[in-house]
Amino acid sequence: MNIAYEYLPFILLTVFVIVLITCIFLAFYFYHRAKAKERLVLLEKGVDMNLYLNDRRPFTFPWLRAGIVTIGLSVGFGLQAILIRMDVIDEPPYLFVLFACVGASMIVAHYVDREKNHS
């Protein structure tokens, strides 16, 4: 019985990862299935597909936003390491520092991206 409790975190992590991968796959599958059905309905109605295809904007990854959030995450880890090294904080509240820095970086990324879109 003691061995089962020893491996319980690994079993739970494995189940969580399998469920997460399954959910991502199903979301991807149903999204593309709905897009295919939408195209079929448009074709059946006789809508010109060139208008539909030209209406879409090309996908561009938001590198600036991802970079700002990554910097915020790094600042959070660094600040957490400094505070733990100086014995200012103990182990339990260190996640607060990390999430506060990431949240602040997301707010900054929102305002930077908003100004870029308005220009």
One pLDDT digit (tens) per residue for the chain, 119 residues: 566 677 788 888 899 999 999 999 999 999 999 988 988 888 888 877 776 666 566 666 677 778 888 888 888 888 877 877 887 766 656 677 777 888 888 888 888 877 666 65
- The span from the CA of 117 to the CA of 98, in Å, is 29
- Which DSSP state fits 1? -
Question: What pLDDT is stored for residue 15 in this prediction?
Answer: 92
Question: What pLDDT is stored for residue 27 in this prediction?
Answer: 93
* Total Cβ atoms within 10 A of residue 105: 21
Question: What pLDDT is stored for residue 2 in this prediction?
Answer: 63
pTM over 0.75: no
